[in-house]
Structure 1
Amino acid sequence: MTSTSVDTILLVCSDEDYSVNLIGSLHDIGANVVGPISRGDVALALAAQISPNLAIFADEPAGDRDAAGLAKELHDTWGVRSLILDRAIRDVGEQPWWPESETLDRLIDGLAHAEAWRAQ
């Protein structure tokens, strides 16, 4: 996996309308998207089967794990890096599961449209 690869993204999002926009934006940058998934246990099970390059959390997953905890578990178990979009749950400090800077820059550019839609 290279630092700029965004081949397969696991999307954790419980908002159906927002997830449609996120998926469209991710497809626009050439990513394959699995999801949306609302439950953390389902996200872990799918990660074992599909080997995503990245997980994106648009909101907190349902279940026993919060977004930061699930991101840590995805990274520790499967090496999957994660991006948390929700500002309230994103402020967890620097973490080893964050995307590498080149991947993050590409995602930010690609997701700007979906974020603008959500702000409306």
Structure 2
Amino acid sequence: MDGIQHDTVLLVCSDPDFADHALRGFFLAGYPVVGPVATAGMALTLAAQAAPKVALVARPLIGRRNARDLARALMQNWGIHSLVLDEAVPDAGLVAHETASWSPPPGETSRLLGVLRRRYDKQH
């Protein structure tokens, strides 16, 4: 842990292996995490109750809403930024849609992706 107070992360992921990987990485980096949840509906419910500052949204989600719909709703309803990954599994690449209006500031995006990459590198 780096001693820095990190914002709470809402983890939205339908892949149990990736969710476990992300939870461990965020815990070791000192990030408080709520989730994981696999549906947009549950993510919105948790967001209303836990007030996270940022969401990590890994596709595909279970249910009717997709990751971008969820990210828009989180930003519109609660001002929660979302880092939307292209894939839910690390070996497919950790690519974020950084140009979207709901994206975290570039520094936060880099920190979140760094946590995930460090965890993945340690496992392989």
TM range (shorter): 0.7 to 0.9
Give the total of aligned pairs. 115
Give the whole-Å Cα distance in 2 for the aligned partners of 1:109 and 1:93. 15
**Residues 7 and 30 in structure 1, CA contact (< 8 A), matched pair in contact too:** no
- Could you say what the CA RMSD is over the residues aligned between the two structures, in angstroms? 2.4
1:74 CA displacement: 0.3
Q: Percent identity?
A: 36
Scaled by the length of structure 1, the TM-score of the pair is 0.82
Name which of 105, 109, 113 aligns with 1:104.
Answer: 109
Q: Which runs of 5+ in 2 are unaligned?
A: none
Higher relative contact order, structure no. (Cα contacts within 8 Å, ≥ 6 residues apart): 1
**Residues 13 and 57 in structure 1, CA contact (< 8 A), matched pair in contact too:** yes
Instruction: Kindly provide the amino acid, as one letter, of the partner of residue 103 in structure 1.
Output: E
Q: Which runs of 5+ in 1 are unaligned?
A: none
Scaled by the length of structure 2, the TM-score of the pair is 0.80
Give the whole-Å Cα distance in 2 for the aligned partners of 1:78 and 1:49. 11
Give the whole-Å Cα distance in 2 for the aligned partners of 1:26 and 1:91. 17
Aligned to 1:71: 71
Instruction: Kindly provide the amino acid, as one letter, of the partner of residue 104 in structure 1.
Output: T
Aligned to 2:7: 7
Give the whole-Å Cα distance in 2 for the aligned partners of 1:105 and 1:21. 17
1:70 CA displacement: 0.5
Aligned to 1:61: 61
Label 1:35 to 1:91 Cα distance change in 2 as closer, same or farther (>3 A): closer
SS at match of 2:70: helix
SS at match of 1:36: strand
1:92 CA displacement: 5.8
Label 1:6 to 1:61 Cα distance change in 2 as closer, same or farther (>3 A): farther
